[in-house]
Structure 1
């Protein structure tokens, strides 16, 4: 039986690569892709997802429009890193029409997919968690019917990439992150900012990856040109003591999902993790949006999450190569 996935994105170059990984796996069925404001506007996210599906010859996969703004927070985007359109401001005169976007809203699509496949669907979120927060408020029983949830977001050591202490996806909608980590009680796996930095790949792999010279690798090379230049700049390195190199943050969450055997409690991709209860700070002057790990059991939460620590990087590289063949 194929693994059934719903992918929630704010595409984003690394979201694009995450989608491509899922589509390259023969034992994975992508039920649908839901889109959320984040790296760029939800309108651009929809366009970007359709561009990825076109390059992968998978425009049969339904795409859904989700939330266009955070629940409470001021809207922020990552235009300084990914470009104003999220894809490096690389024009595509032959991009698919937005007429392909489904009429059904993203939140209802998630509910319907899960209800039609109870206990079978894994949800992978590589975006601010707005869509997921709205979904669980519409259907509070949703998480009991999900097989698992995989998230790229948050942090473990108060090292931020957007604020001093906050990672982008959680800072972009702290209330949504709080709701999701509070109300989704299915098995939950989180790829945090510090984790992706410590497991980043050398830039030499990036050059090797693009040297495949396929239509897909050339697509990723073009849309990632701005973010690569930014990541290799002295300014970025000076403000990032973790020493990230080629870091496709969202792809780690997807790699964990497609290699998961939830029933057997096995994941060949994750080699080390820590299980702990978590929440999100909503009120701190400097710490709003920061994920908090409860090692002292002060939260009295029954539900814990798995925080990824180390992964099989050789497997990861192989998956990235297969994704652009």
Structure 2
């Protein structure tokens, strides 16, 4: 029997703060080593303004290309939520969203003429035609994805998505945007609610509380990112933007005193390599949109009976990570001279 080779594709939707930048570098740099192709990056408001996000993704792309990674299209997306919401996390990510490191904008890297919604619909349809294994990972507000679901001609493009990975929500009601809500969900609760209710395929959630419980130990983080000398451009880039953002003193406040909590990187790692997910539970998730102090809360049904029958458990909620593998992927991201897109298939 002749083995069939199936292409692996990745699409990242990002609001390009500092942790997004680490994740995007991984998405671009690990293509050859992990055997997939990054088909596109779509941008969204969130950690900083949409204008800053577009610039920040260009900066990430430029550093990765200098290290030998293949370039992919950048699709500009939502400037605000479905109901005009705005968000801002400059208190953590800096005014420019990348730690105010003062890095030059590579203006020669033009944005794709297609916007984020058109790009998402297009890559889903292309994956269906080509029989590719497409994974979409969202590491910002869910606005672009929700709009694509609403406008995508009946949603047939979703059939081209093998798996959706969402960095968002919290299963223990310990929020970071409010007392009970996680930032990406709270930034556009209408969009988040639509995605959780209407997504048709496999959805994997990498939650805020999971990431807080799985920091990159400081020793491993310093060895990978903040060491004195880097051979590669990506290592130097990440060191510059992380210098004032990720430190044992700063993270000890609201994140973790044990290491760097880099949520978006962990979500992308799970999207790239399924083996990073070691434990999971199928659950039902609803998003509170009614206002008040619980708006944006991801209400997870852990199996407690509350009189409602037939609630579908369609969301894979990640409960345990292989952090050794994730740390290995971070190290591979900052190594110089790797990247490219030559190896983009796997045997199935």
TM-score, scaled to structure 1: 0.90
CA contact (8 A) 2:43 2:53 kept: yes
What is the CA deviation profile of residues 58-95 of structure 1, one whole-angstrom value per residue up to 9, with x for unaligned ones?
A: 573110010100112631111000011110111123x2
Tell me how far apart the structure 2 counterparts of residues 164 and 98 of structure 1 sit (CA, whole Å).
Answer: 42
Say yes or no: does 1:137 pair with 2:142: no
Q: Give 2:10's aligned residue.
A: 5
CA-CA distance at 1:300 after TM superposition: 3.6
Residue 112 (structure 1) aligned to one of 109, 122, 137: 122
Query: Structure 2: where are the runs of 5+ without partners?
Result: 1-5, 336-348
Residue 19 (structure 1) aligned to one of 21, 24, 36: 24
- Greater displacement, 103-112 / 204-213: 204-213
What is the CA deviation profile of residues 6-33 of structure 1, one whole-angstrom value per residue up to 9, with x for unaligned ones?
A: 1100001111111222222321101111
1:45-84 aligned within 5 A: 45-57=53-65, 58=69, 60-72=71-83, 74-84=85-95
Residue 87 (structure 1) aligned to one of 94, 98, 117: 98
CA-CA distance at 1:277 after TM superposition: 1.0
Tell me how far apart the structure 1 counterparts of residues 123 and 278 of structure 2 sit (CA, whole Å).
Answer: 30
CA-CA distance at 1:113 after TM superposition: 1.1
Closer, same or farther: CA 174–28 of 1 in aligned 2, 3 Å: same
Q: Give 1:286's aligned residue.
A: 293
1:228-267 aligned within 5 A: 228-229=246-247, 232-233=249-250, 237=252, 239=254, 245-260=259-274
Secondary structure of the 1:205 match is helix
Tell me how far apart the structure 2 counterparts of residues 299 and 124 of structure 1 sit (CA, whole Å).
Answer: 31
Say yes or no: does 1:170 pair with 2:147: no
Tell me how far apart the structure 1 counterparts of residues 184 and 123 of structure 2 sit (CA, whole Å).
Answer: 24
Residue 269 (structure 1) aligned to one of 273, 276, 300: 276
Tell me how far apart the structure 2 counterparts of residues 248 and 99 of structure 1 sit (CA, whole Å).
Answer: 26
Larger radius of gyration between Structure 1 and Structure 2: 2
Say yes or no: does 1:149 pair with 2:164: yes
- Greater displacement, 273-282 / 206-215: 206-215
Ranges of 4+ aligned residues in structure 1 off by more than 2 Å: 140-145, 236-240, 242-245, 295-303
Q: Give 1:302's aligned residue.
A: 312
Closer, same or farther: CA 273–250 of 1 in aligned 2, 3 Å: same
Tell me how far apart the structure 1 counterparts of residues 189 and 159 of structure 2 sit (CA, whole Å).
Answer: 23
CA-CA distance at 1:46 after TM superposition: 1.0
Secondary structure of the 2:174 match is coil
Query: Structure 1: where are the runs of 5+ without partners?
Result: 261-267
Secondary structure of the 2:267 match is helix
Say yes or no: does 1:38 pair with 2:46: yes
Q: Give 1:312's aligned residue.
A: 322
- How many residue pairs get aligned? The number is 313
Secondary structure of the 2:124 match is helix
CA-CA distance at 1:299 after TM superposition: 7.3
